[in-house]
Structure 1
């Protein structure tokens, strides 16, 4: 009799865990999609709960409210590159820090170009200055910095080069060019529509990276 009771009771905790994981994922994706589509105007507990199909109290229970969701979304936007760019990006061809940054810069550019949603979120993020936007941007920046540090491994930049500043400028420029291509198809007279246009951008990125890191 005891064995029968144990067999009946054991699956329940697993079911609850599974349901929680599914609900957390539904809440997260609902919040992320809502931000991308409507910005903060439509970003609220009730709207997220409706889209996720759950009780709004679960948002507070699992994420602590909107701030916790923003932190999770910001980290996801930074970690998004891990899904697009494999950890081993260079193999035997990455010999120097310059090799690595050239490779990562071009891969990052291609990854951004292939994901219109992330471009929209970044464009919206940098166009507004509110506490919520700053929280989202800071979380994304922290995650991106950790990714760059992890990819760097044991490689070091040449002496005298301020790598964090140089890399920040480089990646910000790439982001801006990709966003401009989505919005207007050009930047400062530079066409950004065809693959040939982007081949020219890639060639210039290589020259810039080599000019900094050799």
Structure 2
């Protein structure tokens, strides 16, 4: 089993595990190496100190980018596609809020187990943006067509119980149980 805890720096901690360029590049390097590592299952989780699986893109980084940098960033390998294309099963241990790019990362995983109390959603519309990481394609495959449109166009956040009801997450656990449950499932898959 390989546990990929999303890297945390001071800036990502303040931004609640935001997916900045550095984190994306690290994941784009590490994740393909998994295929040859012999790992039988991968668990992706956020740093527990942040109360977020991933709170989305680093908005301050987006504001600082010029047009050239933005274009270059859009040509980088897409972390979500890398995760989705892994032949090794990937579990998202959603141990806090999964917003924007965080939800897109979770939907790229094969199995999603969420901690009760977490919020999930695509709030990009509130910034005048739309989801860019394949969220508009993956969400309908998971939950049908109506719910994704509502989430994307409203920017509303939903709790984990509603996410489970619509099929966005596979299981909901308490904060005390999520790590044990994810590890148990990962060991079961790896055997």
Larger Rg: 1
**Structure number with higher strand proportion:** 2
TM-score for the superposition, normalised by structure 1: 0.27
**Structure number with higher helix proportion:** 1
